Amino acid sequence: MNCESPRSTSCTGGCSWFTCRIGMTVIENSVEIARPIEEVFDFTSDMRNELKWNPDVESMEKITEGPVGLGTRYQAKWHTSPPVTTECTHFERPSSFSFYNGGSIEVDLTILLRPTAGGTMLRSRFDAKPHGFFRLIFPIFLIILRRQEKANMANVKRFLESAPPQSA
């Protein structure tokens, strides 16, 4: 948290005191995956693959035609959420992509990838903003969410590194 003081009306991060303290939460994680950057990008940017590594996903259906890219939308359902539509808002293969969804917890997810000597460094930034009733229970939910997001990074790594390499 970047807020200068409990009485400050702005924080050093450029947000209001209320947003920094209550409204927006950022969860950041990273993991190195022993796979080429293109393979990690193609796997992680297609949200249908989340069914393979995230035990909290109930369904993930691509609802737009064509290849995965900017504007691709999915109808998604996680155990703790109602169904939401999530959309790809940034797509730059093989280095970064972002997805956004509204709902009771508005989420903007950004993934950054860079090649390393051992494969690919994946960095995730999960910006979450609760609405309605979720604003009241979000501090408790956040404890669970932070743990889940960290576990998800380990799950992606484990899945990709145990899968046979993709052919070129």
The number of residues in the chain equals: 168
107 in a domain, yes or no? yes
Structural domain contains residue 93: yes
Range of the domain at 89: 25-162
Pairing state of beta strands 84-92 and 96-101? Answer: antiparallel
For residue 19, being part of any structural domain is answered with no
Each residue's pLDDT tens digit, 96-150: 999 999 888 899 999 999 999 999 999 999 999 988 888 888 888 888 889 999 9
Domain for residue 168, yes or no?
Answer: no
Place of tokens 């956004």: 100
Peptide bond into 94 cis (omega under 30): yes
Q: What is the CATH number of the domain that holds 94?
A: 3.30.530.20
Q: Are strands 105-116 and 96-101 parallel, antiparallel or unpaired?
A: antiparallel
Q: How far is CA 129 from CA 21, 48, 111, 138, in A?
A: 11, 23, 18, 9
In which band, very low, low, confident or very high, does the pLDDT at 25 lie, cut at 50, 70 and 90? confident
Residue 29 forms part of a structural domain: yes
- Enclosing H/E stretch for 149: helix 134-162
- 125 in a domain, yes or no? yes
**pLDDT at 29 exceeding the cut of 50:** yes
pTM of the model: 0.82
pLDDT at residue 18 greater than cutoff 80: no
30-89: pLDDT as tens digits: 999 999 999 999 999 999 999 999 999 999 999 999 999 999 999 999 887 889 999 999
- Report yes or no on 43 lying in a domain: yes
Query: What residue type is 58 in one-letter code?
Result: E
The structural domain count of the chain equals 1
Q: Is residue 153 part of a domain?
A: yes
